[in-house]
Amino acid sequence: MSRNRIADLQLRGSTSPLTVRVFWPGQAAPQPAPLLVFCMAGAGAGSRAAAACRSLSDDAGLVVLAVSCLAGAQDATTVLEWAAEHAAELGADPGRLFVAGRDAGSAVADAVASRARAAGWPAVMLLGDEYPGLASSD
């Protein structure tokens, strides 16, 4: 397993600035990587969520944007919208958008995917526990 690149971005959230951590795959791919918005279960998600994001990025070849969902689906939707608009700058494919979460973040991810469908977005896929790093157990 190789080490992936990580950077923090600041976006405007619904009530305060949002820090979004971006994880890029360690191996360059011949085509842009799928893009995943990973909803963390709040400020206490910490190292467990970071490990899941690293795993998803490196093992599954995804560009992962991790967001703390303190304001719920509203902030996660903001991150997904920003990610879709800036996917090419991130080296990701705007046509392959995914959303996921672990523990309480999975309910937020489900709400974000539902909002995207209701708004008529192109397909935003909800990833489930079958992907590495998404299982709730340690």
C-alpha to C-alpha distances, 57 to 2, 22, 83, 105, nearest whole angstrom:
10, 9, 15, 18
* Interacting residues of 117 by C-beta distance below 8 A, sequence separation 6+: 124
Domain boundaries, the chain: 6-126
For 102-125, write each residue's pLDDT tens digit.
777 888 888 998 888 888 876 787
The whole model's pTM is what?
Answer: 0.84
pLDDT of residue 138 exceeding 50, the answer is no
CATH fold for domain 6-126 = Rossmann fold (3.40.50)
In the prediction, which pLDDT does 1 show? 36
For 18-42, write each residue's pLDDT tens digit.
889 999 998 776 689 999 999 886 5
Rounded to an integer, what distance in angstroms lies between the CA atom of residue 132 and that of residue 127?
A: 10
